[in-house]
Structure 1
């Protein structure tokens, strides 16, 4: 069995984690107020203000005249509040909350950047034993449910370029077995969903479906994650049906907001 990809540090520093998560939000989503950052981090407004002030001091953030904080020059992204990731997250969040109410398991919204998958939204369920929020975390795309679904949208040529051996010269162990990956992606295209049994993290099972634009291109993935002890293969069909309904609702809201 593969070892977990993400192991929390033995001595986590909350202030550093808050700063890094805030920088990621500003970089990917374009901008946020103190209140929005406080809500996202689950901290007091005063704490969020101190985090943002330090990011401004180090040029990771800038503050507009309208008191909105945006990515600074260090982050090197000309993002704005209506970026695709921001619109995706805004469209998806209400539906993620609804599916958590329905299934009582943690749900996620994931996008792909190159050979990585980034969790841009997570809504935790209320169960005592649950999968925690992965928001802001990055995993190899071929090791996550939604990452596989988004890779399945690529042509063979695009897949070859993405996983060209020279790109992995310094980390050959990170390069997937392409023939095996192609066979898996072919099956995912046929099924329209993906199941991840402890592939990204031990003791975790995830099921996901793609979110597509009006042209049919996969923009993101919606997944539900649960402890493997609670996964029942006999529930897979209704689980996928619920996820597909969620994905269609996100697509509709995204089109209306365009």
Structure 2
């Protein structure tokens, strides 16, 4: 069932939100300076410094001799995955920005981790009514555009194992596997996944795989837009632009 679009909680203090965003940036990028943190968050350098100092105190970050802040012990468990993600983001951001300039809609990059999909990069368009940044968000893979793209790359046996009853979170609602297999066959045939308000009401997305040089799917690239701007006639042109961008990312990897 589609969920309403996510909005920031009105009661969340800015300092808490900024600290959490910094932790996400550190995990995704690996390192950041005070100046870069201030620019990313839109805050004063003194505020960024206080936030980074708090992350160091709680072991989310460490400060190098050159005053650069890097992933601390709490986030270091994902260091290898972070390195891969950092390289993927570095290769993708340029082509993603070019795609946003071309289509004027928000573009996202996501990876699958187990049964979930995580957004590792997001470039927003300039339109007043737009899909906001999804960077750092996590959704069940079978509900999200990028997740469907990633799951379609799995053989049936691996899909069965992934959703085996004894491996799931008891609080998680499992997908209908028969229906999911049919959807994934469609994604494999077409090479794209179309999400019509499946993840969130009022949101439409189309996604395709990003592959490495060997042809293995390493991420999913998607275009997200408000449903009021979607029309079936525009899908072929969006898919053409999307796949060309995915190929550009592969060349840059």
Shorter chain as denominator, the TM-score bin is over 0.9
Alignment pair present for 1:163 and 2:163: yes
- Show structure 2 runs of 5+ residues with no match: none
Distance of 1:178 and 1:141 partners within structure 2: 13
CA RMSD of aligned residues (A): 1.9
Report the equivalent of 1:228.
Answer: 227
Q: CA offsets, 1:198-243, max 9 Å, x none?
A: 1111100011111100111111111111000100110110100000
| 1:28/1:79 contact within 8 Å kept | no
Q: Which residue does 2:106 correspond to in 1? A: 106
CA contact (8 A) 1:29 1:80 kept: no
Cα deviation, residue 93, structure 1:
0.9
Alignment of 1:22-171 (within 5 A): 22-77=22-77, 79=79, 83-168=83-168, 170-171=170-171
What's the secondary structure of 1:214's corresponding residue? Answer: coil
What is the number of residues matched between the two proteins? 253
Is structure 2 residue 218 aligned with structure 1 residue 219? yes
String of CA shifts for 1:138-167, please: whole Å, max 9, x gaps. 111111111110111111121122111123
- Pair 1:106–1:76, CA change in 2 (3 A): same
Matched residue, 1:253:
252
**1:17 to 1:169, Cα distance in 2 relative to 1, 3 A:** closer
TM-score by length of structure 2 reads: 0.93
CA distance in 1, matches of 2:146, 2:23: 23
Moved over 4 A (4+): none
Match of 1:170, SS? coil
CA distance in 2, matches of 1:233, 1:249: 25
- Contact 2:31 / 2:70 at 8 angstroms: preserved in 1? yes
